């Protein structure tokens, strides 16, 4: 098994650099199969969503589609795939940023009742609890 980095997935999904896209396709075709799948970890997925949403300007629906294609593929294994599916479902509904949804889903899978955060937006999502309601000058 071989791990795949974010930039390889970006080339495969976006195909913005013809040379690197062909190289990525060739590499994955030679090294990733159902018998010997590539490995995509959760950090790579979080980076992938950030890159697609930011520099490439992909909308939420297009990002969800890309993540669902990765999850449905047979030539790669996704770390914490059940948690990733749950995070994609939350992200698809617009309830959270993907990274926040992924953090909450992995923590739930790890037995956590909730995830503590100072992030007010994340705290509105499933699986989070807000640590503090307002900032103070004293610790």
SS3 38: strand
Asked whether residue 138 carries a pLDDT value surpassing 60, the answer given is no
Tens-place pLDDT, residues 1-21: 999 999 999 999 999 999 999
Asked whether residue 22 carries a pLDDT value surpassing 90, the answer given is yes
Gap between the terminal Cα atoms of the chain = 47
Task: Give helix then strand counts, H and E, for the chain.
Answer: 7, 5
Tens-place pLDDT, residues 26-57: 999 999 999 999 999 999 999 999 999 999 99
SS3 76: strand
Q: Specify the DSSP class assigned to residue 40.
A: E
CA distance linking residue 27 with residue 75, whole number of Å: 12
CA distance linking residue 108 with residue 15, whole number of Å: 35
Tens-place pLDDT, residues 109-126: 999 999 999 988 888 877
CA distance linking residue 72 with residue 66, whole number of Å: 10
Residue 137: band (very low, low, confident or very high) from pLDDT cuts 50, 70, 90: low
Q: What is the pTM of this model?
A: 0.88
Tens-place pLDDT, residues 65-100: 999 999 999 999 999 999 999 999 999 998 789 999
pLDDT at 139: 45
Residue 95, burial from CB neighbour count under 10 angstroms (0-12, 13-18, 19+): middle
């Amino acid at each position: 098994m071989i791990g795949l980095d974010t930039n390889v997935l970006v080339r495969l999904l976006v195909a913005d650099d013809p040379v690197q896209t062909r190289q990525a396709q060739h590499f994955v075709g030679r090294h990733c199969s159902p018998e010997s799948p590539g490995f995509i970890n959760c950090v790579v997925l979080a980076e992938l969503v950030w890159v697609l949403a930011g520099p490439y300007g992909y909308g939420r629906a297009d990002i969800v589609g890309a993540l669902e294609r990765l999850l449905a593929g047979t030539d790669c294994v996704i770390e914490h795939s059940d948690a990733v599916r749950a995070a994609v479902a939350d992200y698809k509904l617009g309830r959270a940023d993907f990274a926040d949804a992924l953090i909450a889903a992995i923590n739930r899978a790890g037995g956590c009742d909730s995830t503590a955060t100072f992030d007010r937006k994340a705290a509105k999502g499933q699986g989070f609890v807000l640590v503090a309601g307002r900032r103070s000058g004293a610790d």
